[in-house]
Amino acid sequence: MPVITYREALRHAMAEELDRDPNVVIMGEEIGQFHGAYKVTEGLLAKYGPKRIVDTPISEAAFIGLGVGASMLGLRPVIELMFFSFYSVAFDQIFNNAANMRYMSGGLVHCPLVIRGPANGGTNVGATHSHTPESIAAYHPGIKVVVPSTPADAKGLLKSAIRDNDPVMFMENTILYGETGEVPDGEHLVPLGLARVIREGTHLSIIGHGRAIQMAVKAAAILEEKHNIRAEVVDLRSIRPLDEETVLASVRKTNRVLLVEEAKPFCSVSAMLACIIQEKAFDHLDAPIRRVTSVDSPAIYSPPLEKIQLPSVDRIRAAALETLK
């Protein structure tokens, strides 16, 4: 299997879907002539031309709203946000229009649209550019939310998202763009809503998504090596739909849970998971559910402090040991 970067995996997914479906249109700021602020769309303009690869002005509310409208008439827009944080400029278009359209029309209208871009901290770009709005997005029935943490998932999930008939918010990570991994050539689809057990274990379940779950993989290796603890690591991959089955099966197996994510703790994905787990597997818990999240404040700029604010391998390791006490 070819080893490629997360960035290339996303690009391949878009290229394959552009080839497959003439209604797929890629749109966003600096995605064409400039090759993308993070080079995800590099080369697509040369190959597919300006009808399919569309550079926009800095007008997020307009071009995301345009994506919603165009999707109503049969296009499949894949809209890049240079930083996912800019979604809030288009909040009304996403959460009032895209999310509610199908419902308000009694099922007559649907919006097969993908909004993608990096949603992460860790690069010292400050509070306005470091939002991780998985839970805000997933709060809205009608919206789907996907967060790949590996190159293979980046490709497989993006292809599925583009084919999906509902609006999908697809959250990537600038720090993962350069990470490499094995990715199947050609048709590789990962269904939305299917979690992946990255590592099997028996002592506790570490469950989460995005870059934080990749940190958990590293923490699990240290736990095994230094502490003789076998942690199971579950990557949610998709937040809504959510693979409750895989999560609960892991909890029933290990009886201890550590939830990890990069977002803030209040009303977050891990808060929701903790609720589900106590509702559906209360009798299987041998200890309180623990969480590792970002420190609860806006993202700080100061580089060494931002490191402390965010989850880290060491914080996950320490929290895992606490969970086992």
Partner 1 sequence: MSKKPPSTKNAPNYAYDARRATINARLDGGEQLALYRVMVRIRRFEERCLRAYQQGKIGGFLHLYIGQESLAAGCCSVMDRKTDHIITAYRDHGHAIGVGMSMNELMAENFGKYTGCSKGKGGSMHYFDPTRNFWGGHGIVGGQIPLGLGLAYALKYRGIKGACMAFMGDGAVNQGAVHESYNLAALWDLPVVFIIENNGYSMGTSQERSSAGPSLAQRAEGYGMNWDIADNGHDVYEVRDKVDRALRLARDESKPSILEIRTYRYRGHSVADPDSTYREKAEIEEYKRTKDPIMALQNSLVVERVLTDELIKKIDAAARAEAETSALFAEQSPFPTPEDIKKDVYWEVDNPADRKSVGSLFFD
Ligand X SMILES: Cc1ncc(C[n+]2csc(CCOP(=O)(O)OP(=O)(O)O)c2C)c(N)n1
Using a 10 angstrom Cβ sphere, with 0-12 exposed, 13-18 middle and 19 or more buried, the burial of residue 230 is: middle
By CB under 6 A, residue 29 contacts ligand X:
yes
Q: What is the enclosing helix (H) or strand (E) of 157?
A: helix 151-163
Q: Taking Cα atoms as reference points, which of 156, 240, 106, 60 lies closest to residue 68?
A: 60
Among the options 16, 17, 29, 60, which is catalytic?
Answer: 60
Using the CB atoms, write b or e for 196-216: b if 16+ within 10 Å. Answer: bbbbebebbbbbbbbbbbbbb
By CB under 6 A, residue 60 contacts ligand X:
yes
Candidates 65-73, 81-89, 96-104, 302-310; binding stretch for ligand X (CB under 6 A): 81-89
Q: Report the nearest approach of ligand X to the CB of residue 82 (Å).
A: 5
Q: Report the nearest approach of partner 1 to the CB of residue 146 (Å).
A: 24
CB closest to ligand X, residue no: 86
CB 194 within 8 A of CB 238: yes
60 is known as an active-site residue: yes
Among the options 16, 80, 129, 134, which is catalytic?
Answer: 129
129 is known as an active-site residue: yes
Nearer to partner 1, 30 or 224 (CB): 30
CB 200 within 8 A of CB 233: no
By CB under 8 A, residue 312 contacts partner 1:
no
Q: What is the enclosing helix (H) or strand (E) of 258?
A: strand 257-260
Q: How far apart (Å, rounded) are the C-alpha atoms in residues 311 and 89?
A: 27
Locate 198 and state its tokens. Answer: 């990255």
- Give the one entry of partner 1, ligand X, none that residue 282 binds, where binding means its C-beta sits below a cut-off of 5 to 8 angstroms depending on kind: none
Site residues (vs partner 1, CB under 8 A): 29-30, 33-35, 37, 55, 57-62, 85-86, 89, 123-129, 264-266, 293, 295-298, 300-306, 308-309
Catalytic residue ranges? 60, 129
